[in-house]
Structure 1
Amino acid sequence: MLAAMPLALPGALLPVAAFAQQGLVPSNSPRLGPSISGPTLPPALPSSEPDAQLTLTAILSGVGTPLQDGLVWRIFDDRGEGARPAIVGRSNEAEPHFTLPPGAYVATVTYGFASASKRIVLGGQAASDTLRVAAGALRLSGAVGDTKIPPDQVTFSVFVPVGTNSEGRLVRSEIHTGELLRLPEGTYHVVSTYGESNAIQRADLKVENGKVTEATLNHRAATVTLKLVAAPGSEAFAGTAFSVLTPGGDTIREAIGAFPQVTLAEGDYVLIARHDGQVYTHEFKVESGLDRDIEVLARTDAKTDAKTDTKPEATQGN
């Protein structure tokens, strides 16, 4: 017995799956959503243009002097506005060479705290370009009178003034004597610190394009050696705690030891020495350029309790 076969009536529509098996999709079939197993697009054809070499140089704008060291180069892929650029090349060479596929790039060069950038479009041929950097430099040192301050005893901080605030934005701190600080041209506020106390000098310096500004900040200060002694010129007591105060009572520096050294700005001070539960005070004066010992006498007949305000006799060493 033959099984009954369904008849395809004229004008009747086959199910969509039947067309799909034959690779056909009728124009009037309903959309059932994206097909996971549908045909994929062919891969993008590679560029017909080969990679090309890009050579870059940097010069100081205005004077045109080539920059030979201290450069940091970065090449970014230019993806248009709103897109995050990607670094595709780096170099610290004076004249770097980059091999890149055709396209648009942004080249940047940093020279200390100065920088420049330029958009470059590469085809399939070698290209070269020059970036102009508007920069100068600072070289700083310190002195007391005609005497240079040793490099390990003075440091500098450089600020960009903002409005009426001369120290509006810190460029860099802990700059040492003779160090070349590369900066964009402009006016900067420099703070020089001699020692670790209050010997501080300030100056406004102008950096000009293509030039090195060399400046010496002159301090009016001296270094004193603090001692608590039984008699003038005798051996200092070890383990003494010293405090240096302004006449108004503000603490400038504290130190512990037999003979600590303190660098102070020119002026009047009060020295407090504490040893074995006793306190001794002494007023002294700092004169610019005059380094000396400051001796406090710890006389047995003048010892006072640390809570008292008695000021025993003291002498100032030469």
Structure 2
Amino acid sequence: MIKVFNRWSALALTAFCLPLLAAGALAQMPPRLQNAPPPQLQDTQGTATLYLSAVFSGETKPIGEGLVWRVYADAPDGEDFKIMVKSQDASPSVTLPKGDYRIHAAYGFASATRRVSLTRDTVERLTIAAGGLRIRGAIGTNPIPPEKMTFSVFVPVGNNDEGRLVVEKARSGSVVRLPEGTYHVVSSYGDSNALMRADLKVENGKLTDATLNHRAATVTLKLVRAAGGEAFAGTAFSVLTPGGDVIREEIGAFPSFVLAEGEYVVIARHEGQVYTREFTVESGQDRDIEVVAR
């Protein structure tokens, strides 16, 4: 009986010790192995998704292009905002840690901003009061090539049409997105004095498409020994108004540029000699202007 008792006691002791040994081995395992979740599982309890879109004022259809979104982490007064997300998608969705954020939607030079507390998946739709402005140019019925014309946009201030510059030297034919309002546009054909001005209204959710008719022409200057002769290289040309204001200065055999319609004087300097000629520019009439060295 004693042997039998000891055998069962040993079995019981072994059964009692095995859980303790297993617990001890588990305690000695690195924490990384003890607590690591299965690879396919992710903790998403601390994040939420922000679904963004924008509309024009008074509209319900989302803006489909031209938007730039930025989401900033909120910051105490006096501290810089940290950008968390930037997207050019029309309607992006972004997943962020829960917290406070500032949403900024830019549509060209127009924009809208909103503060949001992200505690769960959230839909935010911002309203932007903006439209588009596209400027083209023409000489009579002939369109001006886009690469030869630019336009600048100003916001009038008081009696000053060019009070504040908003857009500088935009390419002809491009669309500029602006807050709704009235703007002063200055169109430049070439890079001399061929300018046209207009006041144009940008309406919410619409494209203002305007063509400005310039009165100008391209002239090519030459200093020659006789009419129709070969041009002298290295000639310094100055183009002035009849009142003496300098419009353009160039050096070369035959410089070419655009001038507004009107009366001009050209001065040609070559090898210490000075020659002059008066000439007229008529809109749409491109021509060579020869100065004869006499």
* Short-chain TM bin: 0.7 to 0.9
Equivalent residue, structure 2, for 1:171: 166
Q: 1:83 to 1:276 in 2, by over 3 A?
A: closer
- Whose helix fraction is larger, Structure 1's or Structure 2's? 2
Give the one of 243, 259, 266 matched to 2:254. Answer: 259
Give a deviation string over 1:78-132, Cα, whole Å, max 9, x none: 3465554332332222221222233332211111111011222222x32212111
Give the one of 121, 124, 128 matched to 2:123. Answer: 128
Match of 2:218, as an amino acid? Answer: T
Equivalent residue, structure 2, for 1:247: 242
Please list, as runs of the form range in 1=range in 2, the aligned pairs for 1:1-318 lying within 5 A after superposition: 50-79=46-75, 84-123=80-119, 125-299=120-294
Deviation at 1:264, TM superposition (A): 0.9
Match of 1:143, as an amino acid? Answer: A
CA distance in 1, matches of 2:226, 2:65: 60
Q: Provide the aligned length of Structure 1 versus Structure 2.
A: 251
CA distance in 2, matches of 1:60, 1:293: 51
Deviation at 1:275, TM superposition (A): 1.3
Question: Percent identical across equivalent pairs?
Answer: 62
Deviation at 1:236, TM superposition (A): 1.3
1:95 aligned counterpart, secondary structure: coil
1:209 aligned counterpart, secondary structure: coil
- Whose strand fraction is larger, Structure 1's or Structure 2's? 2
Indicate conservation of the 8 Å contact 1:65/1:210, yes or no: no
Question: Any unmatched runs of 5+ in structure 2?
Answer: 1-43
Report the TM-score, using the length of structure 1 for normalisation: 0.75
Report the TM-score, using the length of structure 2 for normalisation: 0.81
1:65 aligned counterpart, secondary structure: coil
